[in-house]
Each structure stands twice: as C-alpha cells, then as structure tokens.
A = this chain, B = another copy of it.
C-alpha cells in the first residue's frame, strides 16, 4: 500500500493534496443547492457535502468553505432563510459540475448552463427542473468549525418531491433508478447501480 503520514501530507503540492484528501473519505452525495436573493438573483452551485443528520425532525446539513465558490449560496440562505437541494443525475452532470466555476454573484449559473429553474407551491427558492429528487429547505442553524474555518449549515426539510418510480413501498428511495450521481474526490462522477439491500441486523444468537 502507498503510505503517507501527516508530515508528508502537509508537504504535498496543493493540487495533489486536495485530490488526495477529497477522495479519501469515500463516495459523496451530488447535489445542486439553489437559492434566490431578495433582489431575485438566482444562484445554483454543486455541493458534495450534503449529509443526513436525522429524521425526526427531518434535518440535512452541508459544509461550506468560506473562501470557496458557493459563497453566494450562503449569503442568499442567510438573507432569505430558504434554499433547495436537487439531486444531480446522469443527464446533467456536466452542467452541474460547471457550476463550480467562479462566477460573479451578478451572474446566475442558471443563465450560463442548461439548468432551468422551476418554482413550486409558492416556495421562495427555485428548484432545478427535472431533478429526480427536489427538496425545499428552511435554514435552522449553523456551526463555525474552529479547526479549519468551515461552516456546517443545517436545514429542515419543508417539502420533498420524488420521481414516482424511485419511491418504494417501505419509504426507501432507490437512487439508482433515478440515475443519481455520486462524487469521487473533486471531479469524478459515477452513476451507481444498487447491488443489495440488507435486513435489519440483530446480534447473532
């Protein structure tokens, strides 16, 4: 196996290091977070850090780097309290990834890509059209992570839209049936095929 200790990691060149450390935690979720400012400027940016925090209440979190691209996302969420989470699927991975380019806040990524907004049920923030899962989120709280100046942003699910065929009788959403993407590192994409679902595990004997 190839081995790196912490001193060797610190000394790696920047690009090598961010590729390595961004890949090493495993596969990541692939979501577009869409927002709108009070002046009606829309914004959409790709995130690979959306995570499940709990089901009751239904909470999702994501990590925001202070110096990174999706700064407009954060400003709009703080200003309005609302955002949407939309799943990246096979047909839009190229446009979704392009939202990582550093556009000025006056430019909407919806205008420079084929991604389209859609408004539903009077929710303030736009959804991304045709995504197999679309989630309306309300900001709840944030934590400043001292050790590296990132933020954990937490929101509550307000509304959940799921393409019918993905939703199974027991509430399981089959992400594979929606050809939903997963992210490897900074820029690798896969469309996984579900292999197996296990039963609830009890101790042996």
Contacts and interface: CB of A to CB of B under 8 A. Distances in A.
A51 B152 CA distance: 11
B143 A57 contact: no
Interface of A is mostly: mixed
Interface residues of A, number: 110
Interface of A: 1-6, 9-10, 12, 15-31, 48-61, 63, 65, 85, 87, 93-94, 97-103, 107, 112, 133-135, 140-141, 143, 145-148, 150, 152, 154, 156-164, 167-168, 170-176, 180-182, 184-204
Contacts of A156: 6, 147
Contact of A27 (B30, B172, B188): B30
Contact of A57 (B3, B97, B147, B200): B147
A196 B22 contact: no
